[in-house]
């Protein structure tokens, strides 16, 4: 029998983790081969290679321990890729040469697939003087645009990319521009952004006090702290960014605060790291460790948990020695501190199987207990490794034990560390597990609640047809196996029904025992008031969280969480709506109303003429076709291709605003041009801007960068059907959802975060 609990699990394995040769022929014949490959590779640094390979295999078997995707896909393949997931790059110097040295390092890291984080607070603000050149600085946002373009280049070259995180301190003079940067849908698409919030700032917010914006010891201006906080809240209320990182709390709790200072995180926020910091990730699957699920004796097997954690820590420690690194500085940093990030997945399913409602006080208490047990087992396992292999090189017992995080640890663990040292400076982290959770049988992701208990997934077959298959949550399938299709108990709650404050409670319970941080999304209903929304962030601060990420579905972010009791049949062509879906393209009428626009690209001899024609359906005007012409014959092939492709998309209906977004995001490596007072990165971006201008003028779009007037995902769907999210850029299914701080596709596992 297959080890896979669901068809989707095997499909994810085959697509993302199965080792294949260059022409796609599988080398891993089975999932057992994959486990053997990983176990053997990570046992290579051991004296008893065969013995440890068997123990590592036993931990991997049946998806009990889930190394992160880069380890699962890369270990034992001899490919020149890093098995580390997360990097924070070096401190950006406030000089042109230093900035572009950092850009080069970022490109090399992303080329190997690492996600990176940067603190842009070190770059002088816009308008500041630049000594020696009689010019004013362009500010950190302009250089973020350069990083964004670099990331697109790496992606367009066919390399697997990681995502990027940009942070900025709450006292930087350009913080207000940083807060609103993502309101432009075409800008900084490769970045997640978060504000570094200090303790002093939170005190100023609560006290409604003034707040100085400072750089280089110079106060540029003073604002009201509460108004600045409200601006952060308004942007994340509207656009789901920026996130909030409580940076002083992170540094105070950091085990290594005696030898490093943290100012940035990896893209999903679970790894606060110093300059050139690197971390690898892995998760214990709690859903596989529940004995007698849904029975009277249902409980988490803590003895099995302790044994599994000890083996997992050893495996992850070995990755430090087995992995390649894009930069030598990253290798030195990893070897000096041997940081690992052991986390969990399947928490919500485990709670369900022991009969506890996620978000309840009992669930928070169990989370505290289980995560405490993992932390204790991990630290003791690392002490044992220190006895055998030595402590991490920068270990210093007294300042290490004096850190905020270690104050919470059991006294016998502290005594053991004091006597023997510890192999790994930090050990625990709750990372995004969206894809590996699907691969493990659709267990609940990380510490998130279950998103949907069952849904129908459309699967593209080799012949081009689509079949449908039911995807069932792991715990729900266990319930069905025991009780058939009976009603689920009342304690089965989901992301749709959970109060935001219950999310915060669960994150805070887990944070107590996580020495790094947590990647989690706090789902908020669309109709949550702004004041209630702000209360979520204040509760996260008050309850000891290290950061906070929310998602409120709306016309901008996408209506991911809307579920209705009933749905009427959808006609093949729906009239009287701003958004239509058509199974076949409409025939072209004899005459259409349209407009022709002229675009004169600087340094080009001939102008480009763009004609956009519209169709009227149900009294509403929408784009139907486009014609792009130029006398420049060098443009002939691509203008014809664009004409045909864009027109084909327009004639299919649906959400066509992505055409604008994709065109505006294209940059020319030879350089763009200034047009109408704005920097346009390419001719294609200029064409995208014209199409957007036309859509706004005809009422199809509300405004520049604002998307469709009505949300194509807001139609009612039946209970049991998956809540529809934005279309996945990889597989096209409407299965994108915000999980663990990252837009992720449940159908194919595609993730914005790499």
Catalytic: which of 86, 151, 170, 268? Answer: 268
d(CA 429, CA 519) in angstroms, rounded, equals 8
Catalytic residue among 105, 260, 270, 692: 270
CB 276 within 8 A of CB 333: yes
Instruction: List b or e across 665-682, with b for residues whose CB sees 16 or more CB atoms inside 10 angstroms.
Output: bbbeeeebbeeeeeebbb
Q: What is the DSSP string of 652-703?
A: HBS--HHHHHHHHT---TT--EEETTEEE--HHHHHHHHHHHHHHHTTSBSS
Residue 565 annotated among the catalytic residues of the structure: no
Distance CA 530, CA 141 (A): 27
Q: Provide φ and ψ at 713, rounded to 5°.
A: -95, 0
285 contacts 343 by C-beta, under 8 angstroms: no
Question: 609 φ, ψ to 5°?
Answer: -110, 130
- Please, is 63 exposed, middle or buried when counting C-beta atoms within 10 Å of its C-beta (0-12, 13-18, 19+)? buried
CB 647 within 8 A of CB 594: no
Contacts of 523 (CB under 8 A, 6+ apart): 495, 496, 498, 500, 503, 550, 551, 561, 738
- Taking alpha carbons only, the member of 536, 512, 506, 518 closest to residue 363 is 506
Most distant CA atoms of the chain, gap in Å: 87
Strands 278-285 and 340-345, sheet pairing: parallel
Angstrom distance (rounded) from CA 600 to CA 608: 6
Q: Could you tell me the CA-to-CA distances from 560 to 65, 268, 477, 657, 732 in Å, in that order?
A: 30, 19, 24, 18, 15
Closest residue by Cα to residue 496 from 343, 269, 725: 725
Please give the DSSP secondary-structure letter assigned to residue 443.
P
Q: Which helix (H) or strand (E) holds 308?
A: helix 302-322
How far apart CA 706 and CA 97 sit, in angstroms, is 36
Residue in 85, 251, 254, 266 annotated catalytic: 266
Question: 3-state SS of 601-660?
Answer: CCCCCCCEEEEEEEEEECCEEEEEEEEEEECCHHHHHHHHHHHHHHHHHHHHECCCHHHH
Cβ–Cβ under 8 Å, residues 261 and 121: no
Strand partners, 472: 454
**Dist. CA 92–CA 139, nearest whole Å:** 13
DSSP string, 104-162: HHHHHHHHTT-EEEEEGGGSPPTT-EETTTTEE---HHHHHHHHHHHHHHHHHTT----
Report the alpha-carbon distance of residue 212 to residue 204 in Å, rounded: 10
Peptide bond into 473 cis (omega under 30): no
Helix-strand-coil percent breakdown of the chain, rounded to 5? Answer: 40, 20, 45
Active site residue 742: no
532 counts as catalytic: no
* Catalytic annotation, residues: 266, 268, 270
């Amino acid at each position: 029998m297959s080890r896979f609990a669901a068809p989707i699990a095997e499909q994810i394995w085959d697509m993302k983790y199965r080792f294949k040769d260059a022409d796609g022929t599988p080398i891993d014949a089975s999932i057992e081969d994959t486990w053997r490959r990983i176990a053997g590779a990570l046992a290579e640094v051991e004296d008893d290679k065969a013995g440890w390979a068997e123990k590592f295999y036993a931990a991997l078997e049946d998806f009990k321990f889930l190394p992160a995707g880069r380890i699962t896909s890369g270990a034992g393949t001899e490919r020149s890729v890093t098995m580390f997931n997360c990097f924070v790059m070096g401190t950006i110097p406030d000089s042109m040469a230093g900035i572009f040295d950092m850009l080069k390092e970022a490109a090399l890291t992303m080329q190997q697939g690492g996600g990176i984080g940067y603190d842009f607070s070190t770059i002088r603000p816009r308008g500041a003087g630049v000594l020696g050149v009689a010019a004013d600085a362009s500010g950190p946002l302009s250089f973020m645009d350069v990083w964004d373009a670099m990331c697109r280049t790496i992606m367009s070259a066919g390399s697997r990319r990681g995502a990027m995180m940009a942070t900025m301190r709450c006292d930087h003079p350009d913080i207000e521009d940083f807060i609103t940067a993502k309101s432009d849908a075409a800008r900084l698409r490769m970045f997640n952004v978060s504000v570094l919030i200090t303790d002093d700032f939170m005190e100023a917010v609560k006290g409604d006090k003034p707040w100085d914006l400072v750089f280089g010891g110079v106060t540029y201006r003073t604002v009201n702290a509460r108004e600045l906080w409200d601006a952060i809240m308004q942007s994340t209320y509207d656009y789901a960014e920026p996130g909030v990182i409580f940076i002083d709390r992170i540094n105070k709790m950091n085990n290594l605060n005696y030898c490093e200072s943290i100012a940035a995180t990896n893209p999903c926020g679970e790894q606060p790291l110093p300059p050139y910091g690197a971390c690898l990730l892995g998760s214990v699957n709690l859903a596989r460790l529940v004995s007698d699920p849904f029975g009277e004796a249902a409980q988490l097997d803590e003895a099995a948990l302790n044994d599994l954690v000890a083996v997992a820590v050893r495996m992850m420690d070995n990755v430090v020695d087995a992995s390649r690194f894009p930069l030598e500085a990253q290798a030195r940093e990893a070897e000096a501190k041997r940081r690992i990030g052991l986390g969990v997945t399947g928490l919500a399913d485990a709670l369900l199987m022991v009969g506890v409602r996620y978000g309840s006080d009992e669930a928070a208490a169990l989370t505290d207990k289980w995560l405490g047990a993992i932390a204790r087992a991990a630290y003791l396992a690392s002490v044992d490794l220190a006895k055998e292999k030595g402590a991490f090189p920068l270990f210093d017992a007294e300042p290490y034990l004096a850190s905020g995080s270690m104050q919470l640890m059991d006294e016998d663990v502290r005594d053991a560390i004091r006597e023997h040292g510890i192999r790994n400076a930090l050990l625990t982290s709750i990372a995004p597990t969206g894809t590996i959770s699907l691969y493990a049988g659709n267990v609940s992701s990380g510490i998130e609640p279950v998103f949907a208990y069952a849904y129908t997934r459309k699967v593209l077959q080799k012949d081009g047809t689509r079949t449908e298959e039911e995807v069932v949550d792991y715990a729900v399938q266990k319930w069905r196996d025991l009780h058939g299709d009976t009603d689920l108990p009342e304690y089965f709650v989901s992301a749709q029904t959970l109060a935001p404050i219950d999310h915060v409670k669960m994150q805070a319970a887990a944070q107590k025992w996580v020495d790094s941080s947590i990647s989690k999304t706090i789902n908020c209903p669309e109709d949550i008031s702004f004041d209630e929304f702000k209360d979520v962030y204040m509760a996260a601060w008050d309850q000891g969280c290290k950061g906070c990420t929310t998602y409120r579905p709306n016309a901008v972010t996408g209506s991911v969480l809307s579920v209705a009791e009933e749905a009427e049949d959808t006609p093949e062509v729906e009239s009287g709506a701003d958004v239509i879906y058509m199974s076949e393209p409409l025939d072209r009428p004899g005459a259409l109303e349209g407009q022709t626009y002229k675009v004169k690209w600087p340094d080009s001899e001939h102008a480009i003429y763009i004609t956009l024609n519209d169709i009227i359906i149900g009294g509403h005007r929408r784009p139907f076709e486009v014609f792009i012409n130029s006398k420049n014959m060098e443009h002939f092939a691509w203008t014809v291709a664009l004409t045909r492709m864009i027109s084909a998309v327009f004639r299919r209906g649906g959400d066509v605003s992505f055409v604008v977004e994709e065109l505006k995001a294209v940059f020319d490596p030879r350089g763009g041009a200034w047009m109408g007072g704005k920097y346009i990165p390419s001719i294609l971006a200029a064409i995208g801007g014209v199409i957007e201008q036309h859509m706004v003028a005809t009422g199809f779009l509300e405004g520049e960068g604002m998307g469709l007037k009505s949300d194509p995902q807001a139609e009612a769907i039946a209970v049991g059907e998956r809540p529809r999210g934005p279309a996945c850029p990889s597989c096209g299914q409407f299965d994108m959802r915000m999980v663990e701080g990252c837009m992720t596709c449940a159908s194919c596992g595609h993730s914005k975060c790499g």
